[in-house]
Structure 1
C-alpha cells in the first residue's frame, strides 16, 4: 500500500510490538514519520524498535512502555510523550485484548477487556490532547472490529458487573471504540483533530492468545490462507484512516471484500448502535468519571 510522505510527522502506535500494530509502525516509519512504538513489556518494545530500524534504515523510532490496563502507566507514558514538547500528528489506538475466558480486572478495578480496549485508550487520548492540538492536522485512529456491527450489540453493563462472557465483553469494547470516535469527532469540531474508527479485517495475530490452543493453531493456519489476510494487509485500514486526504471526522474504514474480512480499505456505513449522540454522551461521561481524565479542547 502506498501512503503519502510523512516526513516531519510524529506518530504513536499502541500495541506496536507485534501483529497489525508493528506493521502499522513499519509502514509509517517507511513513509518518513517519526514513530513511537508503545507496548506493555520493555523487552518486546525494544525488539520492535530494533525491527523497525532494521527494516527501515532511516527510521526515526523510539519505544514507550505503556500498559493500557493501568491508569498510572498511561499517565506516566503520556507525560513522557508530552515532555518532548513535540506535536503528535497521528495517534493509532491499536492495542487490544479479546475473548478473555473469565472476568478479570485491571489494576484500577475495571473489567479488563473494556478497561484496556476502551477506557485505556480514552485516558491516553485525553492525556495526549495537548500534543494532538499542537499539530496542524492531527488524526486519532481507533481500531474497532466487525463485531461492533453485531445485531443486538449494546453498551449496557459495560464493565460486565452483572454477567460476563469473553466475546460479549469484546463486542462491547469494540462498539465503545466507534462510539468514542464519533463523540470525539463531535467534541473536536473546530480543532485540527480528525477522529476515525477502523475495522482491520481478519488476521491471525496475538489478539487470539486467549483462545484455546487448538483454536489458535487453526486460526493461524486458516485465516491468512483462506478467509483472512496477513497482518501487513490488515494494517491497511489504519494506514488509510491515518493518511488518506479524503478521510472525514467520524468515518469508519473497513476492508471492501465480501464480509469485510479482507480487501482494500474504504469508508463504510457506521454500526447503527454507535450513531446515537446520547449514547456517545453517556459513554463519554462514564469514561471521564472512571478514568478521572477530562478533555479540554482549548
Structure 2
C-alpha cells in the first residue's frame, strides 16, 4: 500500500462498468464522477428518477465523454430490488458493484415496505438482496469487485447484531450502528464465500463528511453546523469518496480488507487498511447473518 494515495493513481477503467447505489448524490455521485473520468461506464442507482437524471447530467457536465446510465432502485422495497436486478442481469456485466446508498438517524422506528426496520432494512438487507439477485451480472466479469460502504459506527458497542431489526427497542443511532456493522460482517463473509474466484469483496468507511446523509438527518451534530463549518470540520464528499475509489480500483488491496482514511481519528486522509470492529471477522457471526438475511428477504445467495 502506498504512503499517499489520491485518485490520480487510479488505473484506466475503460471497458469496466460500475454500478453505484445511492449514485445520485454525495459520496456515490463523486465516486461515479471520478470513475467516469477514468474511463469506466457508470450506472447510477437510486429511488428518484428525477434526481438520477440530475446526477447523470452532473456527471456529463464534469466528464463530457461520459455516458452515465440510471437505474430506479428502492432498497427499502424488495419488489423494486427484484425489478432493478432483473434489468441489470438482462443487459449488463458489472465489474464494480458499489453498495453505497444508506439512511440514518430516523427519529422513530419506521419500516420498509416488507416490514423490516428501515435503517437495517435499507442499509443491509436491501443491499444483500440486490447483490444476490444481480450476482449473475457480477459473475460475468473476469475481475469483479464488490465495495460496501460502512461507517466508523460499525465499531460502536450499541451496534451488536442481536435484535437485528430493533424489535425489542429502538434507538436511531444504535440501529444505524447495527446496519453499518452488518455491512462489515456481510462483506467479510462474502469474501470467504468468494475465495478462489475472480470476485473481491471489500468494505470501507468514508470517515466524516457533510453529505446528504448528514444534511437530511433529523437530529445530531450535523444540523448544528453551517455548510462551510461542516466542510471544514467533517470533510467533503470528494475526500470521503477516496476509500471507495481506492477499494474499487487499487491493485494494492485484497478481498476482505476494511479500508478507511488515515488521518486524525480516521475522519479524512489517504485510504489505508484500518481496524475491524471487534469480532466482525468471526466466521460464525458471518454465517448467522448470512442465513438470517436469506430468511428475512426470501432471497438465496450462492456466490
Same fold (TM over 0.5): yes
Instruction: Specify which of 174, 193, 199 is matched with residue 199 of structure 2.
Output: 193
Q: Which residue is 2:4 aligned to?
A: none
Q: Which residue is 1:68 aligned to?
A: 75
Matched residue SS, 1:123: helix
Deviation for aligned residue 1:224: 1.6
Matched residue SS, 1:38: strand
CA distance in structure 1 between the aligned counterparts of 2:249 and 2:222, rounded to whole angstroms = 35
Tell me, yes or no, if the aligned pair for 2:158 and 2:174 is still in contact at 8 Å. no
Correspondence 1:50 to 2:70 = no
Deviation for aligned residue 1:214: 8.1
Tell me, yes or no, if the aligned pair for 1:141 and 1:241 is still in contact at 8 Å. yes
Identify if the C-alpha distance between structure 1 residues 215 and 195 changes in structure 2 by more than 3 Å, giving closer, same or farther. closer
Matched residue SS, 1:273: coil
Moved more, 123-132 or 203-212: 203-212
Tell me, yes or no, if the aligned pair for 1:6 and 1:31 is still in contact at 8 Å. yes
Normalized against structure 1, the TM-score is what?
0.96
Q: Which residue is 1:233 aligned to?
A: 239
Alignment of 1:49-198 (within 5 A): 49-84=56-91, 86-151=92-157, 153-198=159-204
CA distance in structure 1 between the aligned counterparts of 2:11 and 2:113, rounded to whole angstroms = 40
Deviation for aligned residue 1:292: 1.2
Q: Which residue is 1:250 aligned to?
A: 256
Identify if the C-alpha distance between structure 1 residues 196 and 215 changes in structure 2 by more than 3 Å, giving closer, same or farther. closer
Instruction: Specify which of 296, 299, 303 is matched with residue 290 of structure 1.
Output: 296
Q: Which residue is 1:222 aligned to?
A: 229
Q: Which residue is 2:18 aligned to?
A: 11
Identify if the C-alpha distance between structure 1 residues 189 and 31 changes in structure 2 by more than 3 Å, giving closer, same or farther. same
Q: Structure 1: which 5+ runs fail to align?
A: none
Tell me, yes or no, if the aligned pair for 2:159 and 2:179 is still in contact at 8 Å. no
CA deviation profile, 1:13-54 (whole Å, cap 9, x unmatched):
000111111000100111100100011001001111111111
CA distance in structure 2 between the aligned counterparts of 1:250 and 1:220, rounded to whole angstroms = 35
CA deviation profile, 1:173-228 (whole Å, cap 9, x unmatched):
000000000000011112111000000010011112123398425163433213x2
Root mean square deviation, CA, Å = 1.3
Matched residue SS, 1:57: coil
Tell me, yes or no, if the aligned pair for 2:159 and 2:176 is still in contact at 8 Å. no
Tell me, yes or no, if the aligned pair for 1:123 and 1:291 is still in contact at 8 Å. yes
CA distance in structure 1 between the aligned counterparts of 2:12 and 2:113, rounded to whole angstroms = 40
Tell me, yes or no, if the aligned pair for 1:93 and 1:121 is still in contact at 8 Å. yes
Q: Structure 2: which 5+ runs fail to align?
A: 1-6
The number of residue pairs the alignment matches comes to 295
